[in-house]
């Protein structure tokens, strides 16, 4: 394990681009994208991981990140990992129990991270949660409590609430939902109504902007999306970009219920009008390079999907 050298101090509230940023969830999707974006900009990154030998962790180490083992369920490890940090990208891991989302455990993890960050003197936190809807999902309750607690404990907090990831099209549809199997993409959404989506790389871009301009982004909550194709439009774009025919099927209520009661609940709420509401045009003013689905496919998604679909064919 390596440690970062001491960094020059900067004026509170000023730029954080020359000082240490700690990234949680660094071997996951949002944390990984943010860590890579920070490293590409030449910024010092300490990546918190549970397994330093995991391929994603070794890749980050090769890219220049300081890899530190830490466990949200062992708060002392968080305190050690945050020593000397000026900023924090926070993605407390979701917790599940027999009844579904374990809100209390998720909040306990977020609280432990906030306490450790406050004690360590972290100046700015970017917390990423889940996009809001008029009728909050059970999965968002723990994250909202963490948001509130961070605002109580930290002087400067930016909250990101991303919608569905474009990379979900790459997911393994092992549970009969999301991803692509047998040329079919299945989900709970009506086929001809828009569904907001976002590229992981754009979540990272907003996080880096917040670290770069903490005065501008402190106290702000950003609902994040980059495009809003209908599911039918999305599979048509994927078909064209990959050269492989893909069609969309909406799960019925009974099919969703058979997978998980929470999935059926989400389906019914969505159909009743409880949906994400990011202002994509306003976000594009802040981040002109905000990716559409077509952009993401051209940049990396189509190649990854072709590999995935080819592998599935064998």
Q: Quick: pLDDT tens for 267-288.
A: 999 999 999 999 999 999 999 9
- What residues does each domain of the chain span? 1-162, 165-198+226-275+292-314
Q: Is the pLDDT of residue 152 over 90?
A: yes
| Domain 165-198+226-275+292-314: CATH class, spelled out | alpha beta
3-class secondary-structure state, position 187:
strand
Average pLDDT over the chain reads 90
CB proximity list for 12: less than 8 A, separation 6 or greater = 123
* 258: its two tokens: 């058979």
User: What distance in Å separates the CA atoms of residue 234 and residue 166, rounded to the nearest whole number?
Assistant: 10
Q: Is the pLDDT of residue 162 over 60?
A: yes
pLDDT class for 54, splitting at 50, 70, 90?
very high
Average the pLDDT over 162-183 and give the result. Answer: 91
Give the pLDDT score at 103. Answer: 85
In this prediction, what percent of the chain has a pLDDT beyond 90? 79
Q: What is the pLDDT of residues 66-75, one digit of tens each?
A: 999 999 999 9
Kindly state the DSSP code that residue 227 receives in the 8-state scheme: B
Q: Is the pLDDT of residue 138 over 70?
A: no
- Asked if residue 21 lies in contact with residue 87, where contact means CB atoms within 8 angstroms, the answer is yes
Q: Is the pLDDT of residue 239 over 70?
A: yes
Please report where in the chains the tokens 């999707």 appear, as a residue.
29
Give the pLDDT score at 157. Answer: 97
Q: Is the pLDDT of residue 190 over 90?
A: yes
Give per-residue burial for 143-181: e unless 16+ CB within 10 Å, then b: bbbbbebbbebbebbbbbbbbbbbbebbeebeeebbbbe
CATH 3.30.70.20 matches 1-162 = no
User: What distance in Å separates the CA atoms of residue 307 and residue 309, rounded to the nearest whole number?
Assistant: 6
In this prediction, what percent of the chain has a pLDDT beyond 70? 89
Name the residue with higher pLDDT: 99 or 216: 216
Name the residue with higher pLDDT: 8 or 291: 291
Q: Same CATH fold, 165-198+226-275+292-314 and 1-162?
A: no
Q: Is the pLDDT of residue 94 over 80?
A: no
Q: Is the pLDDT of residue 309 over 90?
A: no
Q: What is the pLDDT of residues 222-232, one digit of tens each?
A: 999 999 999 99
CB proximity list for 76: less than 8 A, separation 6 or greater = none
- Asked if residue 254 lies in contact with residue 107, where contact means CB atoms within 8 angstroms, the answer is no
Average the pLDDT over 298-305 and give the result. Answer: 97
Q: What is the pLDDT of residues 99-109, one digit of tens each?
A: 666 788 899 99
Please name which of 78, 85, 82, 66 lies closest in space to residue 110, comparing C-alpha atoms.
78
Give the pLDDT score at 5. Answer: 32
Give the pLDDT score at 314. Answer: 35
3-class secondary-structure state, position 234:
helix
Average the pLDDT over 76-89 and give the result. Answer: 96
């Amino acid at each position: 394990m390596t440690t970062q050298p001491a960094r020059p101090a900067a004026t509170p509230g000023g730029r954080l681009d020359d000082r240490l940023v700690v990234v949680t969830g660094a071997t996951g999707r949002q944390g990984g994208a943010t860590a890579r974006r920070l490293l590409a900009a030449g910024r010092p990154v300490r990546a918190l991981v549970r397994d330093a030998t995991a391929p994603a962790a070794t890749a980050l180490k090769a890219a220049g990140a300081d890899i530190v083992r830490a466990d949200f369920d062992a708060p002392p490890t968080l305190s050690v990992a945050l020593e000397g940090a000026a900023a924090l990208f926070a993605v407390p891991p979701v917790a599940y129990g027999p009844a579904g989302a374990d809100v209390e455990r998720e909040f306990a993890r977020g609280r432990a991270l906030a306490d450790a960050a406050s004690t360590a003197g972290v100046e700015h936190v970017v917390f990423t949660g889940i996009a809001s809807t008029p009728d909050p999902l059970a999965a968002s309750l723990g994250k909202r409590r963490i948001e509130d607690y961070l605002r109580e404990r930290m002087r400067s907090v930016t909250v990101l609430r991303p919608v569905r990831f474009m990379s979900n099209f790459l997911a393994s549809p092992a549970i009969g939902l999301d991803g692509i199997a047998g040329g079919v993409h299945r989900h709970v959404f009506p086929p001809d109504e828009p569904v907001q989506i976002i590229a992981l790389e754009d979540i990272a871009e907003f996080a880096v902007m917040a670290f770069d301009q903490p005065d501008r982004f402190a106290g702000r909550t950003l609902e994040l999306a980059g495009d809003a194709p209908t599911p039918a439009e999305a599979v048509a774009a994927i078909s064209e970009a990959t050269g492989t025919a893909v069609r969309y099927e909406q799960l019925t209520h009974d099919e969703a219920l058979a997978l998980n009661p929470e999935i059926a609940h989400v389906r019914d709420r969505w159909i009743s009008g409880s949906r994400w509401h990011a202002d994509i045009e306003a976000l594009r003013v802040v981040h002109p390079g905000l990716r559409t689905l077509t952009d993401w496919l051209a940049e990396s998604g189509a190649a990854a999907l072709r590999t995935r679909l080819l592998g599935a064919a064998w």
